[in-house]
Structure 1
């Protein structure tokens, strides 16, 4: 058997599986990259503000963020970020550097999970506390996408 042919088939299958897996989940990115990408692609930024100990955050991970309609919509129309409110990381927002803790306090997060929507030009549009169903999340995202597109 021709090894070059076999290698080509393996690479093609690998690429096919990789693209299939990407459509199988939300494409999460870092906060700083998301802000750059949102401006370049004219998309809203969706931020899931969570903590490791939060029960309802895990419920959203299991139910809402695995919904096929949510995955498809968010990957197409949003730049998505998972932001651990208690992680020892820093981010930049509107020219200021924040720790994750300081950032979530500055935007008005009072509980977890909280959903943050930011416009393509970096304006905070909404912070919505609590767990949300797939239908509720889609409705919220569609509301803000209509404003900008």
Structure 2
């Protein structure tokens, strides 16, 4: 169990974009992919469930790799504070989907199990 959790966290850590929010949107525009942002906090229980169950799920990883540039943003640190304020994030986790031009196209708040995330994300892209 501990090994599975470690592998899931390792996979989780590598799928998310490292860099600034501006670089995130530039990369998505260059690659013509949507942007998926997970706005979280360190103390948020449902956020930790997303890490354990959703972001480490093979189908979710595949979806994100093929369709999106994704990033986790801590709403209480660094540029995450301004990002959360700009997009009026009122609870956690808050998942935001932007088109490749950086326009917000959909948002969901709260824990999303893998299947629910995929159904929502796919419908948002239609």
Bigger-Rg structure (1/2): 1
Gaps of 5+ in 2: 1-10
2:63 counterpart SS class: helix
Give the aligned CA root-mean-square deviation in angstroms: 1.4
2:91 counterpart SS class: coil
Candidates 116, 133, 137, aligned match of 2:117: 137
**Are 2:41 and 1:51 aligned?**
yes
**Are 2:15 and 1:27 aligned?**
yes
| Residue of structure 2 equivalent to 1:113 | 93
Structure 1 CA distance for aligned equivalents of residues 116 and 88 of structure 2: 21
Structure 2 CA distance for aligned equivalents of residues 109 and 40 of structure 1: 27
Residue-by-residue CA offset, 1:35-69 (whole Å, 9 max, x unaligned): 01110111100000000000110011000111110
**Are 2:91 and 1:101 aligned?**
no
* TM-score (normalised: structure 1): 0.71
